[in-house]
Amino acid sequence: MTKLVTDVICPFCGTLCDDLEIEVSDDGKKVTGVYNACAIGAEKFLHSAAADRVTRPRMQQADGSYKEVSYDEAVEYAARVLANAKKPLMYGWSSTSCEAQSKGHEIAELVGAVVDNTATVCHGSTLIALQDVGIPSCTLGEIKNRADRILFWGCNPAHAHPRHMSRYSIFPRGFFTGKGHKGRKMIVVDPRVTDTAKLADVHLQVEQGRDYELLSALRVAIRGNKLPDVVAGIRKERIYEAADLLKSGRFGIIFFGMGVTQSLGKNHNIDEAIMLTKDLNDYTKFSIMAMRGHYNVTGSGEVLGWQYGYPFCVDLSRGFARYNPGETSSNDLLVRGEVDAVFVIGSDPGAHFPISSVRKIAELPSVAVDPHITPTTEISKLHVPVAFVGVEVAGCCYRMDNVPIESRKVVEPPEGMLTDEEFLERVLQRVKELKAEQGAAAAAAKGKVTA
């Protein structure tokens, strides 16, 4: 017999779908079926039951192979690496719960670490932009119930957020949007004819990297001013047509993704997109929202925000919080060789950082906390497998519209496996002891000198 667990949160992307139904074996140990999830979410749940899963920590040997060690040894190594480093980088946090993030920050404060999350290679530019010019935003529920103009800029939800369009943005019938997609107009701006663009009423195939120009042109067109014949590879008639379409709606939203954050211009592209939203509010109601990737990258920004006032790349090495993207951000620190140890949790920089940064992680004392084998775990000195948040342990997560949702535990983790929070708690206790020893040794040495 199997059991069906309903109303489960999907721990894959920032859409945080909350209607999954998971079939688990009678003993509550194995996922046997996943319903309502997208292909990626389903794979994530099913992979927790993989037979070849690593269940004990592994240390890298001199020849590059890995040897199984106990959790005690793993805690000792991680604590020593962090306590002995002058400026460790503690990166990731986006695939774990807010509770674990908070616990990890306690360690970071003690050891003077730089805490950075995956926004640094995702929506970091967005966070800089919204500190520059503010952000008029709303919740996904408001979009479902009210929005009749949807603009996807530099994002491809059909592939990256597979249920976003069906749950919130294009297809659902809401309180004031009873006709579903028939009552909505959809515009997509993308240099490729993506599967999202194929669904759009208007697709502006912008020349790659010319987003700023096109955003500026739309601002000009909205005011009814003159444009050159072609901007960013798009004829002016198309731009005027898109501007009129946006102005004629009752409630509109701009969703934007990596197309604007990772192309040249970066935060300035988003500044301009937010200003376009502001301009559109002279005619109708308009909002803008970032398409966040990891299911709890927003949560990491929130927790860092409450605790230190900054949403990513927070440098605690001087005993107080500093924030300066470009200086205290992971890739800059790694490329310039400014950190002397790396602790990775809930992310995979080995696969998703430029290789020049990955090379530095491989050279340094490094710990990777991840339920699975990834390029990061295979170059780090220590790999600590942990229980899956959202599958094997519950915890708070933030949706892309900053709404916190409590994820659910659906199955038991493999026997004897720690959760992120438990592992971090044990490392924290050991770091406290090591720091006390270091403090005592320093005081004794000082006493000797004085005497």
Partner 1 sequence: MPKIKLNLISGRTIQQGVSMEGGKEKPAYREACGIIEMDPADVKRLGIWVPANVRVTSPYGSVVVKAINATMGPHPGVAFIPMGPWANQVVDPNTYSTGMPTFKGTPVEVEPAEMEKVLGSIELVQSTTRKGVVK
Q: Which is nearer to partner 1, 95 or 287 (CB)?
A: 95
Whether the Cβ atoms of residue 118 and residue 380 lie closer than 8 Å to each other: no
366 binds partner 1 (CB under 8 A): no
**Contact window for partner 1 (CB under 8 A) among 83-91, 165-173, 212-220, 348-356:** 348-356
Q: Contact region for partner 1 (CB under 8 A) — 21-29, 83-91, 134-142, 366-374? A: 366-374
The stretch among 73-81, 105-113, 191-199, 299-307 that binds partner 1 (CB under 8 A) is 191-199
The yes or no reply on residue 193 touching partner 1 (CB under 8 A) is yes
- DSSP label of 163: T
Q: How many CB atoms lie within 10 A of CB 76?
A: 16
- 261: contact with partner 1 by CB under 8 A: yes
In the complex, minimum distance from the CB of residue 261 to partner 1, in angstroms, rounded to a whole number? 6
Q: Rounded to 5 degrees, what are φ and ψ at 401? A: -95, 20
**Terminal Cα-to-Cα distance of the chain (whole angstroms):** 75
In whole angstroms, give the CA distance from residue 280 to residue 277. 5
Q: Do β-strands 230-231 and 114-117 pair in parallel, antiparallel, or remain unpaired? A: unpaired
Q: Give yes or no for residue 209 binding partner 1 (CB under 8 A).
A: yes
3-state helix, strand, coil in the chain (%, to 5): 40, 20, 40
Q: If you search the block for the tokens 């990775």, which residue do you land on?
A: 344
Choice from 26, 68, 195, 437 touching partner 1 (CB under 8 A): 195
In the list 141, 180, 309, 354, the residue contacting partner 1 (rule: CB under 8 A) is 354
Residues 357-371 as b/e (b if ≥16 CB within 10 A, e otherwise) read bbebbbebbbbbbbb
Region for residue 50 given its phi and psi (left: phi exceeds 0; alpha: psi -120 to 50; beta: otherwise):
beta
Considering only residues 99 to 138 of the shown chain, the ones binding partner 1 according to CB under 8 A are 120-121, 124-125, 128
Residue 145 or 262: which CB sits closer to partner 1? 262
CB atoms within 10 A of CB 164: 25
Distance CA 58, CA 81 (A): 15
Tell me which residue of 280, 157, 121, 134 sits closest to 215, measured CA to CA. Answer: 280
The contacts of residue 352 (CB under 8 Å, 6+ apart) are 118, 121
Tell me the C-alpha distance between 26 and 450, whole Å: 68
The footprint of partner 1 on residues 396-435 (CB under 8 A) is none
Q: What is the strand order of the sheet 88-92 is part of?
A: 66-68, 58-60, 382-384, 366-369, 341-345, 88-92, 114-117, 314-315, 322-323
The interface region with partner 1, picked from 170-178, 361-369, 402-410, 429-437 by CB under 8 A, is 361-369
Q: Would you state the structure tokens that stand for residue 270, as one six-digit string?
A: 């988003």
Residues 30-69 that bind partner 1 (CB under 8 A): 39-40, 43-44, 47, 50, 52, 64
CB of 332 to partner 1, least distance (A): 6
Which residue in the set 15, 117, 374, 407 belongs to the binding site for partner 1 (CB under 8 A)?
A: 374
Is the Cβ of residue 16 or residue 75 nearer to partner 1 in the bound state? 16
Closest distance of CB 140 from partner 1, Å: 19
Q: Which residues of 12-31 are buried (b: 16+ CB within 10 A; e: fewer)?
A: bbbbbbbebebbbeeeeeeb
By CB under 8 A, tell whether 15 contacts partner 1: no
Does residue 389 sit in helix, strand or coil? strand
Selected from 77, 168, 308, 353, the binder of partner 1 by CB under 8 A is 353
Does the footprint of partner 1 cover residue 259 (CB under 8 A)?
A: yes
Minimum CB distance to partner 1, residue 206 (Å): 11
Residue 158 makes contact with partner 1 by CB under 8 A:
yes
Residues in contact with partner 1, total (CB under 8 A)? 67
Q: Does 348 bind partner 1 (CB under 8 A)?
A: yes
Give the binding site for partner 1 (CB under 8 A). 12, 39-40, 43-44, 47, 50, 52, 64, 120-121, 124-125, 128, 156, 158-160, 162, 191-195, 197, 205, 208-209, 258-259, 261-264, 266-267, 312-313, 325-332, 335, 348, 350-359, 361-363, 372-375, 378-379
